[in-house]
A = this chain, B = another copy of it.
């Protein structure tokens, strides 16, 4: 481009502030709006132009980014009397980066027409990656829109994302939000599975540090486990990097959308009930790595495991790993089959999720086969023996019952494996998929 265009921005929270100031450091003139005055002061200090009016922040801006927290806030920001549309010039590009239901993004598209602003190039582009990557301009972005809107706004999405982390999702408005949603299926399950694993380890008398080391080196690995467990061991929950209410907002989008699509998201549903349980314990604003407190009030890094023999310790760690492996396998099935159900390109989900916050060893290993099966192929690679997953998880659940440890995800996972007749010889991913998509 000849000269750098001016950009309007609203929502200067942890993520939005990073994104907006990154654009400033890249030499853009960015006018930022937020309802919280201190954020505006901070933004000014970082070189941005603060604005106390949404319409003013959008005035003469050919590009505008909306990064508010919720769909309700987005509606108010865009459509209110003194909102973004009031200031936004004809033919401008409006990028909604908030995580919202796909159906909501479609509503915005419809309402833009309804209020006579079909001139606006609207892009549905939720992001992932956390505040640090937001500030570095290395986010993952999942964007859906008309080809014309993508053409207009792609350079801006590129400024905010890492190379190879910008995913233009086919399917128009809503496809970006759907892609984020099916990624969050993995995230929502794996945020809880790590606390469940630490809770189980504690009930078995294992020290959290040993559990972390063993899981990270195993097929039970997930990105969330490696990331969150640092805070779990340090009891760094206050306020922490990612509050329980944030993942709860995402599970709300997932389970609401799954109800609308009449598709069962068994494990996310289970996780959501436990997240709601955490609210009743007043853990909502704490970091989600602190959910282990639903299992034990003892700091997991302080558990004395010195009386365990080496072989006893090893067999107990194996149970914890078996638990995670089985949960993450079914999480992959839940995410990918839901993606298929809402019409997303599965190969793109695979590329996106395997290196993102939803990644796990199980996803990376089995997603290709799952995708092949869902796309009508016969599958490829070594057949998965569900029987071994079922048998190993069954041992873990047996043991948990003995030591009186609730395994919310583990129990649901075993029920699903059994429903898939997963213990039978020859049962594989096809049988497991059938629990979600029918036979």
Contact = CB atoms under 8 A, between A and B. Distances in A.
Interface of A: 252, 255-256, 258-259, 262-266, 269-270, 272-274, 276-277, 279-280, 294-296, 390, 394, 397-398, 401, 404-408, 411-412, 414-416, 418-419, 421, 423-424, 435-436, 438-439
Nearest to A421: B438
A301 B435 CA distance: 41
Contacts of A265: 415
A398 B256 contact: yes
A262 to B, nearest CB: 4
A436 B419 contact: yes
B394 A259 contact: yes
Contact of A406 (B276, B404, B436): B276
A62 B305 CA distance: 52
Given A262-B423, A418-B264, A419-B435, A273 B408 contact: yes
A405 B279 CA distance: 9
A280 B262 contact: no
Contact of A415 (B269, B276, B294): B269
A404 B407 CA distance: 21
A438 B407 CA distance: 25
Nearest to A266: B415
Contacts of A415: 264-266, 269
What 3 A-B pairs have minimum CB-CB distances, sorted nearest first? A276-B406, A264-B418, A273-B406
Q: Which secondary structure characterizes the binding site on chain A? A: helix
A407 B273 contact: yes
Contacts of A264: 414-416, 418-419
A418 B258 contact: yes
A295 B280 contact: yes
Given A269-B411, A276-B405, A259 B397 contact: yes
A418 B263 contact: yes
User: Which of A263, A280, A435, A439 counts the most chain B CB atoms within 10 A?
Assistant: A280
A266 to B, nearest CB: 5
Contacts of A272: 401, 406, 411
Contacts of A274: 406
A99 B414 CA distance: 25
A437 to B, nearest CB: 10
Contacts of A277: 277, 294, 406
